[in-house]
Amino acid sequence: MKRIIYLLALPLLYFSCKSNNTPSLTADYVAVAPSFNEDSAYQYIAEQCAFGPRVVNTAAHDSCGNYIADKFRSFGATITDQYAESKLYDGTQIRMRNIIASINPEAGARIIISGHWDSRPWADHDNDKEKHHTPIDGANDGGSSIGVMLELARQMSIQPDSSKVNIGVDFICWDAEDCGTPTFAEDNGDGNTWCLGSQYWSKKRHDDGYRARYGINLDMVGSYNTVFYREKGSLNYAPNIVDKVWATANNIGYGNYFKYDDEGGYITDDHIYVNMGGIMCIDVIGSSTDGASFPSTWHTANDNIKNISKETLKAVGQTMLEVIWTEK
């Protein structure tokens, strides 16, 4: 009798574990979104990189901010700028600009899709120590998120009225995410030196009564050899949104990118501050396929346009379009 119970219990145990780690897939899922153009997203990344590193307090940064706002405006978005000041780890005063690009600004039902637009002032993870004080292009780290977001906005703008979506989307471009204390400096332990733009926004929204159903933050969504694990902070704050995004990706054939088999670690990123500001938000952040937490170009001089994969951009962009198009 004991053995029979064992035999019955085993498959049950197996399935209960599995259900934890398997997205709610829909058999014969029929995709509804238009086709995401990865060439176009790639071009927007190249155009950002052409300004030079988008380091806070530099002319290249400011010019690229104007480029991003103008580009979103050309896709019909209404731009709200949030200018603010903050301080780096060493006390340096910085000027920040969070750029909020709203599609369908009148719609009550809204979602946030965000990513940071600044690039890191220091390649402090480069193998070559000489480069540790050199700013990075941030093609992947920063550029890829904005490139994908611009193409999402363009797709929303070019659809015929009959197939346009009615929900509102706020594309939020965070500034000063990536100027956290460099490895060569002493951390003064005075709070979190990363994500300064989203930290500011979490305390003072760009619009007092602002509400959104949820947010999806994109970070490093364009490198080769990248996969996306379900990040722990996202699972804590917004497990159902994680499931929705990963299930959508798997349903449309990107299960090779959106991995459900392992949980990722906890990452302090802009989504954490959106959650602290009272809107649930997840992070879609690239990990390396070799098991390292971040892509191999992370905070190195190799984070440039040559190391951007159109295939990765397509996997993320198409998934995001499908999420937008199925939001009721």
List residues near ligand AHN by CB under 6 A: 141, 178, 180, 194, 219-220, 267-269
Question: Three-state DSSP class for 147?
Answer: helix
Query: How many other C-beta atoms lie within 10 A of the C-beta of residue 30?
Result: 7
**For residues 79 and 310, what is the distance between their CA atoms, to the nearest angstrom?**
28
**With CB cut-offs between 5 and 8 Å by kind, which of Zn ion, ligand AHN, none does residue 246 bind?**
none
Amino acid letter, 126: D
- Sheet strands (E) in 42-167: 78-87, 93-103, 110-116
Beta bridge partners of 113: 171, 216
Cβ 269 to ligand AHN, closest distance in Å? 5
Site string for Zn ion, 171-200 (x = CB under 5 A): -------x----------------------
Nearer to ligand AHN, 65 or 264 (CB): 264
Query: How many other C-beta atoms lie within 10 A of the C-beta of residue 185?
Result: 13
Angle (CA) 314-295-290 rounded to 5° is 100
255 alpha carbon, distance to own chain's centre: 18
Nearer to ligand AHN, 65 or 115 (CB): 115
Query: How many other C-beta atoms lie within 10 A of the C-beta of residue 173?
Result: 26
**With CB cut-offs between 5 and 8 Å by kind, which of ligand AHN, Zn ion, none does residue 176 bind?**
none
Nearer to ligand AHN, 121 or 168 (CB): 121
Nearer to ligand AHN, 156 or 281 (CB): 281
Q: Yes or no: say if 143 and 309 are a contact pair by the CB < 8 Å rule.
A: no
Tokens (6 digits) for 81: 């700028």
Nearer to Zn ion, 117 or 260 (CB): 117
Q: Per rule CB under 5 A, is residue 141 in the interface with Zn ion?
A: yes
Cβ 90 to Zn ion, closest distance in Å? 18
**With CB cut-offs between 5 and 8 Å by kind, which of ligand AHN, Zn ion, none does residue 282 bind?**
none
Nearer to ligand AHN, 151 or 269 (CB): 269
**With CB cut-offs between 5 and 8 Å by kind, which of ligand AHN, Zn ion, none does residue 219 bind?**
ligand AHN
**For residues 276 and 203, what is the distance between their CA atoms, to the nearest angstrom?**
9
Candidate ranges 151-159, 170-178, 240-248, 300-308; the one touching Zn ion (CB under 5 A): 170-178
Binding region for Zn ion (CB under 5 A)? 141, 178
